[in-house]
Structure 1
Amino acid sequence: MSRTRIRSTPVDQACAAAVDLAREAAERIARPGEVGTHLGFESEGDRVVTHYFECLDRAYRGWRWAITVTRASRARNVTVSETVLLPGSGALLAPRWVPWNERLRPGDLGVGDLLPAEADDDRLAPGYTATEDDDGDQQMIFEYGLGRVRVLSPLGRDLAVRRWHSGEAGPHSPIAHAAPAQCSTCGFYWPLSGALRLGFGVCANEYAPDDGRVVAADHGCGAHSEATTVPSMVMDAVPPILDDMGYDDLMESGSVDETESEPLGHS
């Protein structure tokens, strides 16, 4: 029977010795055979000690039974205060809870779903304020005329630029490396307006994989408007092989009878 102390703090000796009492309490809440060896105890305060037992349930590997015992001041009898199953080191735990707005991923929004933007969203700025860049005044007037309450902030724009440039529509994707030229030189490339005009545009080629999507100016694909014509994969027809062995034998066997070659109607 182990009486190893987990933490060196003043321990009530009567509570520390109540291992059998703690085991009985654990066996009452566990199924038969699920309470293992005594792992030690920990002092929780004056005359309060928690005993730990190994949990043998295969569904709770790494967990341990925690039985807290205590006694009243100047009392000899130790009683059970609390019984619970707690995770130990290496225990299998549920993933850490993450707020819904941090769990969302691109493509999660479906038909009828609403995704409200927070009031302090750093990606947005009031539509009547400048955007802290060279074209701030023009964009301020333009956005104010549209009547939108909030517009894209410089931070929101930079996040979008990094996301688009490093994604599948950027210059580092496999299809861009194999492209004959960049999108900026393609006739189907429609540049965006405003501050993103030089770096991004929309693909307008219905046969391209990015049709209708934002692409980086240095992106590319095989549907480039100036791509060279791909040579035909159909091979030229092979000339027919004529068997002239019979013709040669006929000529060598003798001349043809001229009477058999006369036209009909002649005597």
Structure 2
Amino acid sequence: MPYCGPNRDVVVMTRIMGRVNTEVDTDQEADPVSTDQASGFDEALRERLASGVDVARSAVEEFATDGVGEHLGSVVEAPFTTTHRFASDLAGYRGWYWACVLALVPGGEVTVDEISLLPGPGSVVAPEWVPWEKRIRPGDLGAGDLLPPAEDDERLVPGQLLTGDDELDEVAGPVGLGRPRHLSREGRSAAAARWAAARGPDSEIARGAKHHCGSCGFLLPISGSLGAMFGVCANEYSADGQVVHLQYGCGAHSEVQVATESTAPATEAYDDAAVDVVVLPQQLAASAARARGAAEAQDQAGETGRAITPDQV
């Protein structure tokens, strides 16, 4: 049975002049060929090849006793040939199709040139081949796993031996003295690119931050040349334990301050001890009547020359 190899090269069943050909690459796309009158491949030959559906089906069914579906069409891919395609009903080959190439020369008969089982649109095929050394991805390393670097790893360069001078060894330690290998320029550049992409000045959170990590009290400096660009965040509410660019920033900067005034609306105060004096309409009417009576009494007293006391009103 045909199968799909690691490079999407399908080992197909092909019959050419009595021989079996298994070197067919399905990634190669053939361009349709126009009728060439000068070569003898005229329209008559083209029509005869296109009408050879039964010949192609019989050849495919002879090769594969079952699993041959409906005719999907034909196409001219080379002079004096036509490829007929049939749906494949084989279990496990959803989306594949049978291809039968018919050949015809002037004055000859239609012959079967090639039979293949090929993947079509939507078919299930093997993924692109990935070399073993490139299959490891960040985060794949687990407890107990070993991942030795390659001998020619460009990220590393040979280190230096200890000199025996304690003061010199202490100063030279950060640049790789005493270690068999340390980061090369390429290794440092690659690390800087990764770190800047994850938490650099162009990230969304950094663009919206007022303060940057370079002035933050939670930043731990790192030694070496990369210390001029990066540090380690020690804020548990931010990028804790992560390398950050000095121009990175967030809302948890050590110098962030916010207004402490209460934003709750002030309510109107009420004095429960105050007394509101209310004058009823009846009282107003009685007071007005007494005032009129007093005025009339004064008028009468003026006429008689006798004073009227308030009790007489």
TM-score by length of 2: 0.54
1:84 alignment partner, one of 97, 116, 141: 116
Superposition pairs of residues 35-184 of structure 1, within 5 angstroms: 35-37=70-72, 39-40=74-75, 51-55=83-87, 60-61=94-95, 63-67=96-100, 83-87=115-119, 90=121, 92=123, 94=125, 95-128=127-160, 142-146=175-179, 148=180, 150-167=181-198, 169-184=199-214
Structure 2 residue runs without a partner (length 5+): 1-30, 104-108, 162-170, 281-313
What secondary structure, in the 3-state scheme, does the structure 2 residue paired with 1:211 have? coil
Gap change, CA 1:182 and 1:42, over 3 Å in 2? closer
Pairwise CA distance, 1:122: 1.8
Residue 259 of structure 1 aligns with which residue? Answer: none
Aligned residues: 219
What is the percentage of aligned positions where both structures have the same residue?
A: 40
Residue 241 of structure 2 aligns with which residue? Answer: 212
Q: Does the 8 Å CA contact 2:216/2:254 hold for their aligned counterparts?
A: yes
Cα shift readout 1:221-250 (whole Å, capped 9, x = no counterpart): 1121222244355537635434567x3359
Gap change, CA 1:248 and 1:142, over 3 Å in 2? closer
Pairwise CA distance, 1:38: 5.1
CA RMSD of aligned residues (A): 4.4
Tell me if 1:248 matches 2:269: no
Distance 2:174 2:233 in 1: 28
Structure whose CA Rg is larger: 2
Q: Does the 8 Å CA contact 2:60/2:100 hold for their aligned counterparts?
A: yes
Distance 1:244 1:141 in 2: 78
Superposition pairs of residues 6-45 of structure 1, within 5 angstroms: 20-27=54-61, 29=64, 31=66, 34-37=69-72, 39-40=74-75
Residue 185 of structure 1 aligns with which residue? Answer: 215
Q: Does the 8 Å CA contact 2:213/2:247 hold for their aligned counterparts?
A: yes
What secondary structure, in the 3-state scheme, does the structure 1 residue paired with 2:178 have? helix
Superposition pairs of residues 193-208 of structure 1, within 5 angstroms: 193-207=223-237
Cα shift readout 1:62-104 (whole Å, capped 9, x = no counterpart): x43134689xxxxx9x7x787431135x564643222354344
Distance 1:191 1:34 in 2: 69
Cα shift readout 1:50-71 (whole Å, capped 9, x = no counterpart): 854232669744x43134689x
Q: Does the 8 Å CA contact 1:190/1:204 hold for their aligned counterparts?
A: yes
What secondary structure, in the 3-state scheme, does the structure 1 residue paired with 2:256 have? coil
What secondary structure, in the 3-state scheme, does the structure 2 residue paired with 1:34 have? strand
Structure 1 residue runs without a partner (length 5+): 44-48, 71-75, 130-137, 253-267
Q: Does the 8 Å CA contact 2:71/2:84 hold for their aligned counterparts?
A: no
Q: Does the 8 Å CA contact 2:219/2:234 hold for their aligned counterparts?
A: yes
Residue 255 of structure 1 aligns with which residue? Answer: none
Pairwise CA distance, 1:173: 1.6
Q: Which amino acid aligns with 1:122?
A: E
Q: Which amino acid aligns with 2:233?
A: C
Q: Which amino acid aligns with 2:71?
A: G
Pairwise CA distance, 1:163: 1.7
What secondary structure, in the 3-state scheme, does the structure 2 residue paired with 1:160 have? helix
Distance 1:81 1:204 in 2: 72
Gap change, CA 1:6 and 1:174, over 3 Å in 2? closer
Distance 1:173 1:206 in 2: 20
What secondary structure, in the 3-state scheme, does the structure 2 residue paired with 1:117 have? coil
Q: Does the 8 Å CA contact 2:220/2:233 hold for their aligned counterparts?
A: yes
Superposition pairs of residues 227-238 of structure 1, within 5 angstroms: 227-231=256-260, 235=264, 238=267
Distance 1:83 1:218 in 2: 64
Q: Which amino acid aligns with 2:61?
A: E
Gap change, CA 1:191 and 1:249, over 3 Å in 2? same
Distance 2:139 2:267 in 1: 53
